[in-house]
């Protein structure tokens, strides 16, 4: 099974040193008839209770949920032809995974 893992970070012109590294990590894959997503941070911090949003190709919100205590969330694939999953860590940390990359 091929799995896509995406790491993303949004910074507002700030210099980043390794000590400051705290990039969000999102991994989603097909598991039976569900999409399984796991999230966390590159420094090992938990994504428990962090926001997950699923939007359609027009960026309309399909649903919003929160990762569980282990940083996981499972859902049935939406009816939209294309969608994307967004892990919204905080105002500086966000990552998006497109449905075309989820296998």
pLDDT in tens, 31-87: 999 999 999 998 999 999 999 999 999 999 999 999 999 999 999 999 999 999 999
More confident residue, 1 or 101: 101
Q: With contact defined as beta carbons under 8 Å apart, do 64 and 53 qualify? A: yes
On whether the pTM is more than 0.85, the answer is no
Residues 6+ apart with CB under 8 A from 2: 103
Tokens of 44: 């090992």
Domain ranges (residues) in the chain: 23-101
For the residues 4-23, what does the mean pLDDT come to?
A: 50
More confident residue, 100 or 15: 100
For the residues 15-22, what does the mean pLDDT come to?
A: 52
Q: Could you tell me which CATH number the domain at 23-101 has?
A: 2.60.40.1930
Q: With contact defined as beta carbons under 8 Å apart, do 8 and 96 qualify? A: yes
Predicted confidence band at 5 (pLDDT cuts at 50, 70, 90)? Answer: low
The Cα 101–Cα 82 span in angstroms is 11
């Amino acid at each position: 099974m091929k799995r896509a893992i995406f790491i993303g970070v949004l910074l507002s012109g700030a210099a980043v040193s390794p000590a400051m590294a705290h990039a969000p990590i999102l991994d989603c894959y097909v598991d039976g008839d569900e999409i399984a997503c796991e999230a966390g941070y590159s420094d090992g911090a938990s994504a428990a209770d962090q926001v997950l949003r699923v939007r359609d190709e027009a960026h309309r919100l399909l649903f919003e949920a929160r990762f569980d205590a282990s940083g996981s969330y499972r859902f049935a694939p939406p009816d939209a032809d294309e969608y994307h999953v967004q892990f919204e860590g905080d105002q500086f940390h966000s990552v998006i995974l497109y449905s075309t990359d989820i296998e």
